[in-house]
A = this chain, B = another copy of it.
Amino acid sequence: MSAQARPVFDEIVHAPNRLQVCAMLAAVEALDFATVREALAISDSVLSKHVKVLADAGYVHTAKTPHGSRTRTWLSLTDAGRTALDGHLAELRRIAALATTP
């Protein structure tokens, strides 16, 4: 799966919080907004803005589903998002490899 993606440094994915969001989402089908927000310990507004950045980039898909009486927003990584994350992680590995004396 994330075997050999083309190493591409992706600024959108690199931001600390977004990197974590992407990594969390990559492991599962979907996660709801509140779960991610609590995992990262950031405010609603901040997560909302990061999700918007990822969604605008086409990396994350959001879906609102009725949950009990309320609505719940589910976040999931799109194919493009997975490709971007894999590529970015590959680039990080490449850079990390520089840190190892030949």
Name the residue on B nearest A24 (C-beta). Answer: B98
Per assembly, the copies of the chain total: 2
State A26–B100 Cα separation when bound (angstroms): 7
Interface pair A99/B95, CB less than 8 Å apart: no
Give 1 or 0 for each of A1-32: 1 = CB within 8 Å of chain B CB: 11000000101001010011011101110000
Q: Given A14-B16, A16-B14, does the pair A89, B99 have CB atoms closer than 8 Å?
A: yes
State A85–B85 Cα separation when bound (angstroms): 21
Q: What distance in Å separates the Cβ of A95 from its nearest Cβ neighbour in chain B?
A: 5
**A53 interface contact, C-beta 8 A:** no
**A66 interface contact, C-beta 8 A:** no
Q: What distance in Å separates the Cβ of A78 from its nearest Cβ neighbour in chain B?
A: 14
